[in-house]
Amino acid sequence: MTAFERISGGPLYLRWWDRSRNNWAPRSLGHRDRDRAEQQARELAGALLAANEAECRGDLTVSDLFGRFEREVTAHAEPRAAAEDRRRIAVWTAYLGATTPMASLDRATLDQFVRARRAGTLSVPDVKLSAKPSDRTIGADLEFLRRVCNWAFTVTRGNGKPLLDAHPLTRYAVPRNANSRRPVATYDRYLAIREHADAVDRQRLFGAFLDLVEGLGWRVSALCSLWASDVDLVVTAFRPYGAFGSGRSRTRWV
């Protein structure tokens, strides 16, 4: 484990040898405090050693799972996504306990996590949590844990077995906002934007795209997913202007 700076007085980094990739694994610490960097290096070195010992025993603790996920996945993500991963790793580690076996994670534990997050009673060092998080926010924490567990089924220990023997979130209902609030664009707003659409688009495609959005009432993502094979120009009595979606997807008349 090495703590270093690439330029004198610049941000500090950690580096360690990753046997799975047979290469050095870097991690930016995002600060210039040498004492803090040394402490973080010791903590990460301890986590790596604990993970190796757990793999030899065939056990998997919370810190083992998240430590390996951080080294092999989070460390290679773009900075914003990596920071969000580490925030949620800290949340789950604080709630479950670093030395807790992953095999003990059950539905009751997940239910208790949801209740604690809703009540705003979960406290995590160095992480600011909302006192009244929405179900969408709580669901995002659970979806992160699901992503980590899904990844754990794709990697193996030294004995060839997957990291996890059972998925703790199988058939678990993740909380979602019952009445999600979505912005609504008025017809007057459409007309105001449409007036300038061709001026800002040299290809003169944006205006036509806005016409489809306003006329069909589809989601923008649905229109962007259309293929040329989805456009049927055959005119009949039931579809005087042709149709969208008669090829790969469901037919929608226009």
pLDDT of residue 145: 94
What global pTM score does this model have?
0.55
Position 56 scores a pLDDT of 61
Q: Are residues 22 and 82 in the same domain?
A: yes
Decide if 237 is inside a domain. yes
| 61 and 147 inside one domain | yes
pLDDT of the residue at 247: 46
Percent of residues, the chain, with pLDDT higher than 90? 20
Identity of the amino acid at 129: L
Number of domains in the chain: 2
Task: Give pLDDT tens digits for 42-89.
Answer: 888 887 776 666 666 657 889 888 988 998 899 888 988 999 999 999
Least Cα distance to 206 among 190, 183, 217, 185 occurs for 190
How many CB atoms lie under 10 A from the CB of residue 47?
18
96 and 217 share one domain: no
**Residue 175 forms part of a structural domain:** no
Which pLDDT score is estimated for 252? 45
Asked if residue 192 and residue 141 are part of one domain, the reply reads: no
Whether residue 224 sits in one domain with residue 100: no
How far is it, in rounded angstroms, from Cα 207 to Cα 190? 10
Asked whether residue 29 falls in the same domain as residue 104, the answer is yes
**Same domain (yes/no): 137, 193:** no
Q: Locate tokens 């997050």: which residue?
A: 117
Residue 174 lies in a domain: no
Give Cβ neighbours of residue 251 (< 8 Å, ≥ 6 apart).
243, 244, 245
For residues 227 and 239, give the distance between their C-alpha atoms in angstroms, rounded to a whole number.
Answer: 19
Range of the domain at 34: 2-152
Tens of pLDDT, residue by residue, the chain (254 residues): 888 888 888 889 988 777 656 677 788 888 889 899 899 888 888 877 766 666 666 578 898 889 889 988 998 889 889 999 999 999 999 999 988 888 889 999 999 999 999 999 998 888 888 888 989 899 999 999 999 999 988 887 766 777 887 888 888 888 887 766 666 778 888 899 989 988 888 888 899 889 888 888 888 888 888 888 888 888 888 888 888 764 444 444 44
Q: Which residue is it, tokens 């699901």?
A: 146
Rounded to an integer, what distance in angstroms lies between the CA atom of residue 32 and that of residue 29? Answer: 8
In this prediction, residue 248 carries a pLDDT of 46
